[in-house]
Amino acid sequence: MSETTEKVRKTLARRYRAEKRFKAFGIGSIGIGLMALVLLFTDIIGKGHSAFFEYEVQLPITFDAEVLDVSDPRDEDELNYGNYQGVIRDALAERFPTVEGRQDTRALNQLVSTGAGYALRDMLREDPSLLGETRTLWLLADDDVDLFLKASEKQREDSRLNTKQQQWVAELEASGETRMVFNQSLFSYGDSREPEQAGILGAILGSLFTMIVTLVLSFPVGVAAAIYLEEFAPKNKFTDFIEVNINNLAAVPSIIFGLLGLAVIIGLFGLPRSVPLVGGIVLTLMTLPTIIISSRAAIKAVPPSIRQAAMGLGASKMQVVLHHVLPLALPGMLTGAIIGMAQALGETAPLLMIGMVAFIVDLPAGPLDAATVLPVQIYLWADSPEQSFEALASAAIMVLLAFLITMNTLAVVLRKRLERRW
Amino acid sequence: METAQQLDKPSLGNNDAAKDKAINERDAMTQDTPYPDQTVGQPFVDNPKMRLRDVEVFYADNQAIHGVSLDIGKNEVVSLIGPSGCGKSTFLRCLNRMNDTIDICRVKGDLHLEGQDLYDPKLDVVELRARVGMVFQKPNPFPKSIYDNVAYGPRIHGLANKKYDLDEIVENSLRKAGLWDEVKDRLHASGTGLSGGQQQRLCIARTIAVSPEVVLMDEPCSALDPIATAKIEELISELSESYTIAIVTHSMQQAARVSHRTAYFHLGRLVEMNDTETVFTKPEHDLTEAYITGRFG
């Protein structure tokens, strides 16, 4: 055995140990990451899943023209000012005839959501012949009733309902006059002070309009800037300076962009507050560096041999870029844009500065209507005192995560699909 | 750039005695053998296609080519040989101004293509490159179909107005490049799916599709196996009937097989240029002899 072999053998064990240590360390790191992910998802899903369902209470409702104070259901004005709470109160009083006294009556009336009245109005508008008729209807329960019904036996003791209310609800539950249905209002309404009527559609639309504005502004500008810097700009101190600044811009805290939007876009240019247009512009500023940097990387990855081949054939600079570089770099650019968009979708801080944190009930119809966005809605709900909002916030997080995961998957799929080999 | 790096490269590894010796020998040879004041042999011909005089190329402050003068005759195959970093590729790239794409590169001298000054500021480089085509070292087909690869040049220059004309150009070019029979059934398959040799012939077909007058080839066979190389060499001989060809090669056998005249470059200077046969059988200059007999390179 030669001297070298002997020496090598001595070190072998140590080398293998080092390798094993490193492997264990890597596996441990991945394990911690996965654990954090599992923890996050179980927590959010555990808290949020109940918000996708809500309880309804069955009551025989009489559309009494006198109580409602509606003589002609086709008259929109009369319809709007009808006393729908009145008929619900009557129905409750009929269901629980033993309840007496002002305080108890009031407590009884609190069992049904105030939103149920609007449901009755809509029914009457749809079908005017209902006036004077009696129908057994499922009405949306109040959020405290909802929480009580969703809670386990033990948790019910901590319910915000008083003892009598708890008895009434238990009675309704026992006789099958309550049911759990899919929470449609979550996906069809805007924000509300009443948790059972609050929805995320307003926030989703706000996010959608903001994203459209961001995409329309940042993608063309970012790609054009990247192509110019990469293919046309002379390499000198000035372009170096620009490059350094783009990289710096990517590291600026996002709230600074919000301040800029507040001062310049709202203050100087006088655009309205709280609108997706301004949010989109601010997020464009934030997304641009990401798109420019990833687009430049994509352009750099196009092999120079392709450029040379085209130039050798007599293609002009512009033709080389449009016919060869751009098609080959596009998958990378799109991936960068989608990741930038995903970042923008999850951004909260700059939008707080420009007033997209306002309490807005109406659904925005366009980028110039006041709106809020999903992450801000989550922030608002997490900040609300009612216990039911906690589940709503978690549900909104789930929806936001679903969007983000979809976008990132799209980026991966797009890259795999469009990727070409040479 | 290439030249500068080659020159600055320190000798590697002190224990490698044989290599050291070779390097020392080469250095001794380089120092002992004076450069000729003028290129030996016959670099000029009557009525040339390309007339190149006192060509100098600088990469920033490094001079890569020192006063090279030579002619390329009509329908002639000229091969440029020499050790790595001697500037032959750089010189070749001056002939269709591919060096323009390198920011720090400057070219001086008189370069004419049939009386047209190549570096005339009024000359559009697009027009020049349509007249002087180029085939590169590594096959570089576009990641498009075979048909689109060949049709690209004619399309951007507007050489064919009708689909029928374009089809004809594509077929003719592929036939001339000896690729037609192999690809006629899959013209719309990707060009990158071909073998290395086929890709290089596709690149040649693409170049001749715009009917250039001169075709420059920068080591077109260095990435190919011997069989593919033989095909390309055969092709070069056939093409010389209709085109003027300048080819850079590291293979002396290849230069001997395909070219009419051969130019030997050494450290940015044109040492010798003559008929290929003369260069390989009776080299006039010691450096040329040393290179072709394999004493360095």
Nearest to B126 among A306, A314, A328 (CB): A314
> Do the Cβ atoms of B141 and A328 come within 8 Å?
no
Q: What is the CA radius of gyration of chain A?
A: 30
Question: pLDDT band at residue B31, thresholds of 50, 70 and 90?
Answer: low
Structure tokens at A257: 């962009």
Inter-CA distances, A272 with A357, A369, A419, Å:
14, 9, 42
Can you tell me the distance from the alpha carbon of B159 to that of B98, in angstroms, rounded to the nearest whole number?
Answer: 22
> Do the Cβ atoms of A314 and B98 come within 8 Å?
no
| Residue type for position B56 | E
Q: Looking at the complex, report in whole angstroms how far the Cα of residue A5 sits from the nearest Cα belonging to chain B.
A: 22
Residue of B nearest to A421 (CA): B143
Strand order in the sheet with B269-275: B40-41, B269-275, B261-266, B77-81, B244-248, B214-218, B132-135
pLDDT score recorded for residue A213: 96
pLDDT score recorded for residue A281: 95
Can you tell me the distance from the alpha carbon of A16 to that of B138, in angstroms, rounded to the nearest whole number?
Answer: 42
pLDDT score recorded for residue B28: 58
DSSP sequence for B134-194: EE-SS----SSBHHHHHHHHHHHHT--SSHHHHHHHHHHHHHHTT-HHHHGGGTTSBGGGS
β-pairing, B50-59 with A53-62?
Answer: unpaired
Average pLDDT, chain B: 85
CB contacts, 8 Å: B130 with chain A: 313-314
> Do the Cβ atoms of B206 and A305 come within 8 Å?
no
> Do the Cβ atoms of A422 and B143 come within 8 Å?
yes
Question: pLDDT band at residue B260, thresholds of 50, 70 and 90?
Answer: very high
Can you tell me the distance from the alpha carbon of B206 to that of B133, in angstroms, rounded to the nearest whole number?
Answer: 9
Whether the pLDDT of residue B26 is over 70: the answer is: no
Can you tell me the distance from the alpha carbon of A93 to that of A99, in angstroms, rounded to the nearest whole number?
Answer: 7
Question: pLDDT band at residue B9, thresholds of 50, 70 and 90?
Answer: very low
Can you tell me the distance from the alpha carbon of A264 to that of B289, in angstroms, rounded to the nearest whole number?
Answer: 75
Can you tell me the distance from the alpha carbon of B63 to that of B60, in angstroms, rounded to the nearest whole number?
Answer: 8
pLDDT score recorded for residue A18: 93
- Higher pLDDT: B134 or A153? It is B134
- Average pLDDT estimate for B232-253: 90
Whether the pLDDT of residue B229 is over 70: the answer is: yes
Nearest of A53, A76, A59, A331 to residue A180 by alpha carbon: A53
pLDDT score recorded for residue B23: 62
CB contacts, 8 Å: A324 with chain B: 142
pLDDT score recorded for residue B32: 54
Whether the pLDDT of residue B14 is over 70: the answer is: no
CB contacts, 8 Å: A320 with chain B: none
Whether the pLDDT of residue B15 is over 60: the answer is: no
Q: Looking at the complex, report in whole angstroms how far the Cα of residue B20 sits from the nearest Cα belonging to chain A.
A: 27
pLDDT tens for A108-159 read: 999 999 888 888 888 888 888 888 888 899 999 998 899 899 888 888 888 8
Q: Select the residue from A313, A316, A320, A419 to test the B interface by mutation, using most B Cβ atoms within 10 A.
A: A313
Q: Looking at the complex, report in whole angstroms how far the Cα of residue B92 sits from the nearest Cα belonging to chain A.
A: 12
pLDDT score recorded for residue A100: 86
CB contacts, 8 Å: B127 with chain A: 314
Interface of A with B (CB under 8 A): 234-235, 303, 305-316, 319, 323-324, 328, 420-422
Q: Looking at the complex, report in whole angstroms how far the Cα of residue B54 sits from the nearest Cα belonging to chain A.
A: 24
Structure tokens at A316: 């002009």
CB contacts, 8 Å: A328 with chain B: 143
Strand order in the sheet with A178-182: A134-140, A53-62, A178-182
- Average pLDDT estimate for B110-119: 90
Question: pLDDT band at residue B22, thresholds of 50, 70 and 90?
Answer: low
B11 DSSP 8-state letter: P
Can you tell me the distance from the alpha carbon of B255 to that of B248, in angstroms, rounded to the nearest whole number?
Answer: 8
Interface of B with A (CB under 8 A): 96, 98, 101, 103, 126-130, 133-136, 138, 140-143, 152-153, 156-157, 192, 203, 206-207, 210
> Do the Cβ atoms of A312 and B207 come within 8 Å?
yes
DSSP sequence for A6-63: HHHHHHHHHHHHHHHHHHHHHHHHHHHHHHHHHHHHHHHHHHHGGGGEEEEEEEEEE-
pLDDT score recorded for residue A406: 92
Nearest to B192 among A307, A319, A421 (CB): A421
Whether the pLDDT of residue B4 is over 70: the answer is: no
Question: pLDDT band at residue B121, thresholds of 50, 70 and 90?
Answer: confident
Whether the pLDDT of residue B101 is over 60: the answer is: yes
- Average pLDDT estimate for B158-174: 90
Q: Select the residue from B96, B113, B152 to test the A interface by mutation, using most A Cβ atoms within 10 A.
A: B152
Question: pLDDT band at residue B275, thresholds of 50, 70 and 90?
Answer: very high
Q: Select the residue from B99, B132, B142, B169 to test the A interface by mutation, using most A Cβ atoms within 10 A.
A: B142
Q: Select the residue from B123, B156, B173, B202 to test the A interface by mutation, using most A Cβ atoms within 10 A.
A: B156
Nearest to B152 among A234, A313, A316 (CB): A313
> Measured on CA atoms in the order A325, A331, A336, A337, is the torsion positive or negative?
positive
Compute mean pLDDT per 10 residues along chain A, 422 residues long, and list them.
84 92 97 96 91 91 87 83 89 89 90 89 88 89 90 83 90 91 90 89 94 96 94 89 91 92 92 93 94 94 91 90 92 90 92 90 91 93 88 93 91 79 49
Can you tell me whether residue B113 is helix, strand or coil?
A: strand
Q: What is the pTM of this model?
A: 0.80
Ordered structural domains, chain A, with CATH:
55-183 (no CATH), 201-418 (1.10.3720.10)
CB contacts, 8 Å: B207 with chain A: 312-313
**Are the C-beta atoms of residues A150 and A232 closer than 8 Å to each other?**
no
**Complex ipTM value:** 0.80
**A·B CB contacts under 8 A:** 69
**Are the C-beta atoms of residues A310 and A322 closer than 8 Å to each other?**
no
pLDDT score recorded for residue B1: 40
Can you tell me the distance from the alpha carbon of B92 to that of A338, in angstroms, rounded to the nearest whole number?
Answer: 44
pLDDT score recorded for residue B5: 41
Can you tell me the distance from the alpha carbon of B219 to that of B250, in angstroms, rounded to the nearest whole number?
Answer: 7
> Measured on CA atoms in the order A83, A86, A91, A92, is the torsion positive or negative?
positive
Can you tell me the distance from the alpha carbon of A403 to that of B74, in angstroms, rounded to the nearest whole number?
Answer: 66
CB contacts, 8 Å: B138 with chain A: 305
pLDDT tens for A186-210 read: 899 899 888 888 999 999 999 999 9
Q: Looking at the complex, report in whole angstroms how far the Cα of residue B145 sits from the nearest Cα belonging to chain A.
A: 12
